[in-house]
Amino acid sequence: MTTETAVSCIADAVTDSQALIVAFASMDGEMVDQHFGSAQAFYAWAVTADSAELIAQQGFGYEKKDGNEDKLKPKLTWLVGADVVYCGSIGGSATRQLVMLGINPIQVKGGPDVEELIEALQGQLKGEPEFWLANILKQKQAGGADRFDQMADEGWDE
């Protein structure tokens, strides 16, 4: 594991554009044990078939599960650059907002270990990925070196 840096968003910590960037809603970084909206911390990992590196982490204040949309904004802002976020539970509004940012939310029950989830992802990266993961990997490959050319073709300007 290398140094996690203080970043304004996960994208600032990404050094390998082909790595799967996975965030976990977790109190301590060891298990997924947080509801998305009230998560007190997220841990972001760069995962490849052969390696996994913690690249960033961010703490957030305690929030009630009250439907207050404003509490989502700092989390959504920080998660920009992630491909996947694992959480113990998540509401419909947060799910929609993550999907709009290109982040695939995954709800897991029972507080699974982060390490076990990473190993399962690495197994898929080495073999035949599930449909949702295959789609993410296709988008990452398509958004590689020629993504700026694609933006120019679409009329994108700085």
Q: What span, in angstroms and rounded, lies between the C-alpha atoms of 116 and 142?
A: 28
The token pair that represents 95 in the structure block: 């799910």
Contact 20, 47 (CB under 8 A): yes
| Chain centroid to CA 19 | 11
Specify the CATH number of the domain 10-153.
3.30.420.130
Domain-wise residue ranges, the chain: 10-153
| Chain centroid to CA 14 | 11
User: pLDDT tens, 36-67?
Assistant: 998 999 999 999 999 999 999 999 976 555 55
Statement: the pTM of the whole predicted model exceeds 0.75: yes
Q: What span, in angstroms and rounded, lies between the C-alpha atoms of 77 and 80?
A: 6
158 residues of the chain, pLDDT tens digit each: 344 457 899 999 999 989 999 999 999 999 999 999 989 999 999 999 999 999 999 999 765 555 555 779 999 999 999 999 999 999 999 999 999 999 999 999 988 999 999 999 999 999 999 999 999 999 888 875 444 444 455 554 54
